[in-house]
Amino acid sequence: MSDNKPRYNTSRFPGKTRDSKPNSKPPSRPVSKPSAAGREQADQLRTGDRIVVTVKRLGINGEGVGYYRRKAVFIEGAIPGEVVKAEVTKLSDKFISAAIKEIEKRSPYRVDAPCPVFGICGGCQIQHLSYEGQLAGKEDMVREAFSRYAGLQDVRIKPMLGMEHPWNYRNKAQLQLGMAQEGVIAGLYAADSHKLIDITGCPIQHPKINEAVDRTRNVLQQLQIPVYREKSNQGLVRTIVVRWGFQSEQLQVTLVTASDKLPRQAELIKALRLAMPDLTSIAMNVNPKNTSLVFGNKTVILWGEDSIRESLGDLEFTLSPRAFFQLNPIQTVKLYETVRAAAGLTGRETVVDAYCGTGTIGLWLAPYASEVRGIESIPEAVEDAKANAARNGRGNASFYAGYAEELLPRWVKSGFAPDVIVADPPRTGLDPRFLEAVLRTKPKRFIYVSCNPSTLAKDCKVLLDGGYTIDWVQPVDMFPQTSHVECVVLLQWKNG
């Protein structure tokens, strides 16, 4: 992810005009923009109309949300508390999209985004909001979701767990390569386009990541190793993937290529090692397919170790080029400690870690439980979880490939009834069959870890209707400068 300039040009503010081509026949009087005045219903609006909107909250994608004649208006770049004059860009039955033309009342939380490509690269959405404003906006986002989707007006939401330094927190970059007038560039594609935006010096990535990307790109250019061009299906190197161990201080560089034929390989390895003396591993991943997936199935270690080490608390992990690991290790510890507090373990409880991935949450809880069982549908992740358990001496943690909605009822039938279930699903939320299985199992505590407040609230409504109560919701700011918000929710069985 990266950051960007304001999403609107200065030309959209009053007193500024866009450059225009000379017109031999200028209009005899100024051309006024259409106004919504006199249109009493939102349904009467037209594209291009100007409306005045008071921004109430942040939307799920970081846009400002207000209302015009009781209809929701989404305004990119607007901030809660501001009054803006906006131009209607899209109309639908349920909402209006609009673009800022003038800020009539400015929020005290509005700041100048430090990144030169904020608003262009799409990696960050709310750099123009002070960090205090970001935390408040994200808390409101969670509160709105529970109100809208679960019908809860008084759910107990704890203050957001933020970062002392909300920058330089990402331990991994995965950047596409392309050619520009100045040479090879590494970056992200602009939203809804195939235009590659150079994100050199991205302020949410660790400085070691930025340095390694820059030096790797320079070496590729110096050795004239061809960059892949999607349109012509020519060239070689598609993507640079760099990972830095915050605790181990080890550096891993992976080149994703369209072919396993790497020209000037020995020179490349030598040049990369000279450019980055702290390198631990150089790898090549081969992805010959024209696909949105970054990695292919084949990975070759060109030099150094086949993985780097990293740790969370007292847990140590080895990370191969394709291995999943949390992108913000500082906040991950806060997240996992919140889960542990919610679990209320005394050493006698049995725990199921559903959607367990590589087993990090289950392994975090294992020293405080009698037994932990993890379930994950991706077999490779299960193998990683087993290896992580063995490496860290978590003998009471076991991991199974399969689907929680199938394995959980089977275990209960055989006599294993968990006291605590933890679920950390993807953004789409919990499978309805899994929710049914939980309601049949009735664990005393259900801990929901979510990266999407909307699906979280919807799933919690099902659990509430089935006999659970919400003790509290703890938001955690895993990705400052972006609109993403993580939550931990403790639900307890009413009769438990």
The reply to whether 244 and 105 lie within a common domain is: no
Range of the domain at 157: 152-164+328-493
What b-and-e string marks burial along 296-319, b requiring 16 or more CB atoms within 10 Å of the CB?
beebbebbbbebbbbebeebebbb
- The answer to whether position 373 is within a domain reads yes
The pTM score is 0.88
Least confident of 21-25, 39-43, 471-475: 21-25
Give residue 496's pLDDT.
54
- Domain end marker among 319, 344, 370: 319
Handedness of CA 46, 48, 51, 57 (dihedral sign): positive
- The answer to whether position 33 is within a domain reads no
Catalytic residue among 121, 124, 451, 487: 451
Pull the structure tokens for residue 206.
Answer: 């660790």
Give residue 270's pLDDT.
98
The reply to whether 293 and 370 lie within a common domain is: no
The reply to whether 334 and 373 lie within a common domain is: yes
Mean pLDDT to the nearest integer, 10-25: 32
- The answer to whether position 1 is within a domain reads no
Share of the chain above pLDDT 70, in %: 91
Share of the chain above pLDDT 90, in %: 84
Question: What is the C-alpha separation between 173 and 337, in angstroms, rounded?
Answer: 26
The reply to whether 194 and 103 lie within a common domain is: no
- Domain end marker among 285, 319, 353: 319
pLDDT(125) > 70: yes
pLDDT(439) > 60: yes
Number of domains forming the structure of the chain: 3
The reply to whether 335 and 473 lie within a common domain is: yes
Give residue 33's pLDDT.
60
pLDDT(3) > 90: no
For 126-153, the pLDDT digits (tens) are 999 999 999 999 999 999 999 999 999 9
Give residue 54's pLDDT.
97
pLDDT(40) > 70: no
The reply to whether 314 and 336 lie within a common domain is: no
Give residue 81's pLDDT.
96
The reply to whether 200 and 121 lie within a common domain is: no
The reply to whether 398 and 489 lie within a common domain is: yes
Give residue 383's pLDDT.
94
Distance linking the first and last C-alpha atoms of the chain = 43
The reply to whether 159 and 189 lie within a common domain is: no
- The answer to whether position 15 is within a domain reads no
Mean pLDDT to the nearest integer, 70-99: 95
pLDDT(22) > 90: no
Collect contacts of 297-300 with beta carbons under 8 A, ≥24 apart.
298/260, 299/254, 300/260
The reply to whether 301 and 370 lie within a common domain is: no
Pick the more confident residue, 13 or 57.
Answer: 57
Mean pLDDT to the nearest integer, 439-448: 97
Residues 6+ apart with CB under 8 A from 449: 335, 339, 361, 422, 423, 424, 486, 487, 488
Binding-site residues for S-adenosyl-L-methionine = 326, 355, 376, 424
The answer to whether 451 is a known catalytic residue is yes
pLDDT(24) > 70: no
The reply to whether 188 and 309 lie within a common domain is: yes
pLDDT class of 256 with cuts at 50, 70, 90? very high
CATH at 458: 3.40.50.150
pLDDT class of 44 with cuts at 50, 70, 90? confident
Give residue 230's pLDDT.
80
For 338-382, the pLDDT digits (tens) are 999 999 999 999 999 999 999 999 999 999 999 999 999 999 999
- The answer to whether position 89 is within a domain reads yes
- The answer to whether position 442 is within a domain reads yes
The reply to whether 119 and 267 lie within a common domain is: no
Question: What is the C-alpha separation between 396 and 466, in angstroms, rounded?
Answer: 31
- Domain end marker among 296, 319, 342: 319
Mean pLDDT to the nearest integer, 21-41: 49
- The answer to whether position 232 is within a domain reads yes
Question: What is the C-alpha separation between 217 and 88, in angstroms, rounded?
Answer: 42
- The answer to whether position 488 is within a domain reads yes
CATH at 292: 2.40.50.1070
Question: What is the C-alpha separation between 384 and 397, in angstroms, rounded?
Answer: 13
Q: Which of 267, 296, 329 is nearest to 478 (CA)?
A: 329
Binding-site residues = 326, 355, 376, 424
Question: What is the C-alpha separation between 86 and 334, in angstroms, rounded?
Answer: 40
For 303-334, the pLDDT digits (tens) are 999 999 999 999 999 999 999 899 999 999 99
CATH at 110: 2.40.50.140
pLDDT(31) > 70: no
